[in-house]
């Protein structure tokens, strides 16, 4: 079995044994029995993330015992073509997938399985193979046949496990299959995602796997960029010529309300990073979009690495008999990521910890560093500039062009350390990121899972280090639980951290609503900074003068 497929399976509940005391604080509290704690943590996490508690359906877990024995005996490997429930159960066991709902279709065991079971476009299959997507990942094995059977879907799979193709492949097929009475019939496929960066990335994936249909003009696709929005607004382009559109909610709803995009023909709706799009700040726009998708036969699907029960309830209200797929443990971090919690004492300790990592050769680029606010991201950027680390920064105050530019340079390797806020926490696929540093503790387990999911993608290994101070004693608890669930035996935290009590609902709310007030980032005294700045200005000024003199002479 392909290594990527093995690695992209979700994490299990086995707890890491390697508890270190590297950064431990002295503690008087006695550690209670390990087993009891494990049980209580498992219970707590299960409760927090209980995604499927609302309905009892048939479950693919029924045959688990039998399959356990077969897998243990090592005599049965799922075949590449899945033709019955026993083979399906074997594949699900191997993939750690749990599928619930009514009339669940069989998963696929290979992309070739699609052509034997469905009227699947051969050209779409060859586009996939040419792009080196040879074998489906676990989420793709389940989601594609569900979508091709025209079923609504709620899918939860780890970061970097191939969710994008899991929705794009059947979406393209469905749109190709649906009749188009005229060239200006209207948009039939719609994908919404929370950020421009992610929408762009989805669009690029869509371009790659539909390229033969684009060149033969069988498909017409677009990303709702600012330029396209302007053209639509000025009637330079008619949106009805597009078959599939990718957009962020805000831009889309503005154009829809201006009457320049009609969503009434949409047959396939994909909500990527669904929990984000149903969270405060987005939920109204998402709801607005849904209300404009008036086609009765619309199929809806939502994807994320984290789907809390509140979102599951909302999904219930807008979907028809959805099938739910979970790969691994819900809301778990990808198990290819080695996670570490580091107590830095105070704010100054964070910069010192980074410098310590540099001297211990632990600071291996490419690296992404997350902070809680734009101001703090800017401050760390200025601080690390002096360390000559090829740093750059992305946050919401930078223009889309600047953001694009930095991403390109980071992908090319010209930027080694990318400093950012939660604006880049979700979805963005930087293939080779070695290390994610949470300079500031994220405000929920979900935010943590997504942030660290920028590393360890597509089966690669990665490392995530989270700094915390005394002020973070509340916010760090959900993160500790995610680490405890991790199936990565190298993940570490200190024994005393286990004594942190579990969070009450109010405490969780408090963390979400108020970010911790922190001391300014800097280890360099102000006078030294001013001196440096004066020196840089002088060098810059003398360079400019020389250039002007050279120009005047020539
Ligand atoms: P997710 O949305 O689950 O976080 P992505 O869809 O961004 O993950 O995919 C992560 C990486 O895995 C991408 O680089 C993508 O090209 C790669 N990938 C996806 N599907 C496959 C596949 N079937 N075989 C090999 N690589 C894949
Ligand atoms: Mg994604």
Pairing relationship of beta strands 268-272 and 299-304 according to DSSP bridges: parallel
Tell me the percentage of the chain whose pLDDT exceeds 90.
64
Structure confidence at residue 22 as a pLDDT band (50, 70, 90): very low
Instruction: Indicate whether 533 pLDDT > 80.
Output: no
Pairing relationship of beta strands 417-420 and 391-394 according to DSSP bridges: parallel
Centre of ligand 1 from the C-alpha of residue 273, in Å? 15
- Residue 59 backbone phi and psi in degrees, to 5: -125, 145
* Mean predicted confidence (pLDDT) in 127-156: 97
Q: Is the dihedral of CA 109, 112, 113, 114 positive or negative?
A: positive
* Mean predicted confidence (pLDDT) in 193-204: 96
Which bound ligand lies closest to the C-alpha atom of 165? 1
Closest ligand 1 atom to Cα of 158: 3
Do 166 and 137 contact (CB within 8 A), yes or no? yes
Which bound ligand lies closest to the C-alpha atom of 137? 1
Structure confidence at residue 543 as a pLDDT band (50, 70, 90): confident
Q: CA nearest 140: which of 298, 313, 301, 267?
A: 301
Dump pLDDT digits (tens) for 215-271.
999 999 999 999 999 999 999 999 999 999 999 999 999 999 999 999 999 999 999
**What CA–CA distances, in Å, run from 193 to 11, 245, 285, 402, 517?**
25, 11, 12, 20, 30
Instruction: Indicate whether 544 pLDDT > 60.
Output: yes
Q: What is the pLDDT of residue 133?
A: 96
Do 106 and 138 contact (CB within 8 A), yes or no? no
298 forms bridges with which residues in the sheet? Answer: none
Q: How would you class 123 by CB atoms within 10 Å of its CB: exposed for 0-12, middle for 13-18, buried for 19 or more?
A: middle
Instruction: Indicate whether 30 pLDDT > 90.
Output: no
Closest ligand 1 atom to Cα of 136: 23
Centre of ligand 2 from the C-alpha of residue 139, in Å? 12
Instruction: Indicate whether 163 pLDDT > 90.
Output: yes
* Mean predicted confidence (pLDDT) in 151-168: 97
Q: What is the pLDDT of residue 45?
A: 35
Q: What is the pLDDT of residue 143?
A: 98
Q: Residues 6 or more apart from 533 whose CB is under 8 A from it?
A: none
Q: Is the dihedral of CA 369, 375, 378, 384 positive or negative?
A: negative
Tokens of 19: 């508890």
State the CB neighbour count (10 A cutoff) for residue 17.
7
Rounded distance, CA 450 to CA 426, Å? 5
Residue 464, SS3 per DSSP: strand
Q: What is the pLDDT of residue 44?
A: 41
Do 387 and 358 contact (CB within 8 A), yes or no? yes
- Our separate counts of H helices and E strands in the chain read 22, 14
Q: What is the pLDDT of residue 538?
A: 77
Structure confidence at residue 502 as a pLDDT band (50, 70, 90): low
Atom 2 in ligand 1: which residue has the minimum CA distance?
163
Q: What is the pLDDT of residue 525?
A: 58
Q: Which of 60-69, 183-192, 307-316, 353-362 has the lowest mean pLDDT?
A: 60-69
Centre of ligand 1 from the C-alpha of residue 64, in Å? 27
Q: Which of 51-65, 142-156, 520-534 has the lowest mean pLDDT?
A: 51-65
Instruction: Indicate whether 72 pLDDT > 70.
Output: no
Which bound ligand lies closest to the C-alpha atom of 336? 1
Dump pLDDT digits (tens) for 338-347.
999 999 999 9
Rounded distance, CA 254 to CA 289, Å? 10
Centre of ligand 2 from the C-alpha of residue 302, in Å? 11
Looking up tokens 């025209």, which residue turns up?
Answer: 150
* Mean predicted confidence (pLDDT) in 274-303: 95
Instruction: Indicate whether 64 pLDDT > 60.
Output: no
pLDDT: which is higher, 287 or 542: 287
Instruction: Indicate whether 330 pLDDT > 90.
Output: no
Domains and CATH numbers, the chain: 85-327 (3.40.50.300), 337-513 (3.40.50.300)
Do 468 and 341 contact (CB within 8 A), yes or no? yes
CB-based pocket (< 6 A), ligand 1: 4, 133, 135-137, 140, 157, 159-165, 429, 431, 457-458
Tokens of 245: 């559109």
Atom 17 in ligand 1: which residue has the minimum CA distance?
458
Pocket mutation for ligand 1, best pick of 164, 205, 273 (most atoms within 8 Å of C-beta): 164
Looking up tokens 């999904």, which residue turns up?
Answer: 315
pLDDT: which is higher, 553 or 269: 269
Pocket mutation for ligand 1, best pick of 111, 458, 459, 460 (most atoms within 8 Å of C-beta): 458
Rounded distance, CA 268 to CA 42, Å? 37
Residue 227, SS3 per DSSP: helix
Tell me the percentage of the chain whose pLDDT exceeds 70.
82
Centre of ligand 1 from the C-alpha of residue 505, in Å? 35
Residue 364, SS3 per DSSP: coil
Rounded distance, CA 229 to CA 239, Å? 10
Closest ligand 1 atom to Cα of 164: 6
Pairing relationship of beta strands 189-192 and 244-247 according to DSSP bridges: parallel
Centre of ligand 2 from the C-alpha of residue 412, in Å? 21
Instruction: Indicate whether 515 pLDDT > 90.
Output: no
Which bound ligand lies closest to the C-alpha atom of 166? 1
Atom 11 in ligand 1: which residue has the minimum CA distance?
458
Helix 138-148 with 163-177: angle, nearest 10 deg: 20
Structure confidence at residue 10 as a pLDDT band (50, 70, 90): very low
Structure confidence at residue 99 as a pLDDT band (50, 70, 90): very high
Looking up tokens 């090592």, which residue turns up?
Answer: 74
Closest ligand 1 atom to Cα of 159: 4
Centre of ligand 2 from the C-alpha of residue 28, in Å? 44
Instruction: Indicate whether 26 pLDDT > 50.
Output: no
| Average pLDDT over the chain, rounded to an integer | 84
Centre of ligand 2 from the C-alpha of residue 422, in Å? 15
Residue 105, SS3 per DSSP: coil
Q: CA nearest 159: which of 77, 275, 48?
A: 275
Q: Residues 6 or more apart from 282 whose CB is under 8 A from it?
A: 194, 249, 276
pLDDT: which is higher, 500 or 467: 467
Find the radius of gyration of the CA atoms of the chain. Answer: 25
Q: What is the pLDDT of residue 78?
A: 79
Instruction: Indicate whether 68 pLDDT > 50.
Output: no
Centre of ligand 2 from the C-alpha of residue 462, in Å? 17
Residues 53-68: b if buried by 16+ CB within 10 A, e if exposed: eeeeeeebeebeeebe
Which bound ligand lies closest to the C-alpha atom of 452? 1
Tokens of 426: 């979700």
Rounded distance, CA 514 to CA 529, Å? 31
In the chain, the largest separation of any two C-alpha atoms, in whole Å, equals 87
Q: What is the pLDDT of residue 323?
A: 97
Question: DSSP letter at 459?
Answer: T
Atom 19 in ligand 1: which residue has the minimum CA distance?
162
Dump pLDDT digits (tens) for 360-403.
999 999 999 999 999 999 999 999 988 878 999 999 999 989 99
Q: What is the pLDDT of residue 503?
A: 63
Structure confidence at residue 510 as a pLDDT band (50, 70, 90): low
* Mean predicted confidence (pLDDT) in 4-23: 34
Q: What is the pLDDT of residue 470?
A: 84
Centre of ligand 1 from the C-alpha of residue 457, in Å? 7
Pocket mutation for ligand 1, best pick of 139, 155, 162 (most atoms within 8 Å of C-beta): 162
């Amino acid at each position: 079995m392909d290594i990527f497929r093995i690695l992209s399976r979700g994490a299990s509940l086995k707890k890491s044994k390697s508890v270190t005391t590297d950064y431990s604080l002295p503690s008087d509290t006695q550690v209670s029995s390990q087993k009891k704690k494990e049980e209580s943590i498992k219970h707590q996490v299960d409760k927090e993330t209980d995604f499927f508690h609302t309905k009892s359906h048939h479950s693919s877990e029924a045959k688990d015992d039998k399959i356990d024995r077969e897998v243990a005996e090592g005599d049965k490997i799922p075949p590449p073509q899945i033709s019955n429930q026993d083979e399906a159960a074997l594949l699900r066991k191997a993939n750690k997938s749990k599928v619930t709902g009514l009339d669940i279709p069989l998963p696929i065991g290979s992309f070739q399985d699609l052509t034997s079971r469905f009227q699947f476009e051969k050209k779409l299959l060859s586009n996939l193979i040419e792009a080196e997507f040879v074998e489906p990942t676990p989420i793709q094995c389940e989601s594609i046949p569900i979508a091709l059977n025209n079923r609504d879907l709620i899918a939860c799979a780890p970061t970097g496990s191939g969710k994008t193709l899991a929705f794009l492949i059947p979406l393209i097929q469905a749109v190709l299959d649906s009749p188009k009475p005229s060239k200006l019939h209207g948009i039939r496929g719609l994908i919404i995602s929370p950020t421009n960066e992610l929408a762009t990335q989805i669009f690029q994936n869509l371009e790659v796997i539909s390229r033969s249909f684009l060149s033969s003009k069988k498909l017409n696709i677009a990303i709702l960029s600012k330029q396209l929005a302007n053209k639509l607004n000025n009637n330079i382009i008619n949106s009805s010529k597009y078959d599939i559109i990718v957009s962020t909610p805000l831009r889309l709803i503005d154009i829809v309300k201006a009457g320049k995009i009609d969503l009434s023909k949409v047959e396939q709706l994909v909500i990527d990073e669904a929990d984000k799009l149903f969270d405060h700040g987005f939920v109204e726009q998402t709801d607005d979009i849904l209300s404009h998708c008036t086609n009765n036969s619309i199929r809806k699907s939502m994807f994320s690495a984290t789907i809390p029960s509140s979102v599951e309830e909302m999904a219930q209200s807008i979907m028809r008999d959805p099938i739910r797929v979970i790969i691994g443990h819900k809301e778990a971090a990808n198990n290819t990521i080695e996670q570490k919690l580091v107590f830095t004492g105070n704010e100054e300790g964070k910069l010192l910890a980074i410098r310590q990592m540099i001297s211990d050769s632990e600071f291996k680029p490419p690296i992404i560093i997350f902070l809680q606010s734009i101001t703090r991201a800017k401050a760390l950027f200025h601080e690390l500039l002096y360390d000559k680390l090829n740093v750059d920064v992305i946050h919401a105050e930078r223009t889309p062009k600047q953001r694009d530019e930095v991403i390109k340079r980071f992908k090319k390797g010209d930027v080694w350390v990318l400093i950012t806020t939660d604006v880049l926490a979700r979805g963005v696929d930087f293939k080779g990121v070695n290390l994610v540093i949470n300079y500031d503790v994220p405000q929920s387990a979900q935010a943590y899972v997504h942030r660290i999911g920028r590393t360890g993608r597509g089966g690669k290994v990665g490392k995530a280090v989270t700094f915390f101070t005394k002020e973070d004693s509340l916010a760090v608890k959900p993160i500790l639980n995610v680490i405890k669930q991790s199936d990565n035996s190298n993940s570490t935290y200190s024994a005393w951290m286990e004594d942190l009590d579990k969070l009450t609902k109010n405490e969780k709310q408090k963390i979400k609503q108020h970010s911790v007030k922190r001391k300014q980032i800097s280890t360099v005294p102000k006078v030294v900074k001013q001196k440096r700045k004066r020196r840089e200005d002088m060098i810059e000024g003398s360079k400019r003068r020389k250039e002007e003199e050279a120009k005047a002479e020539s």
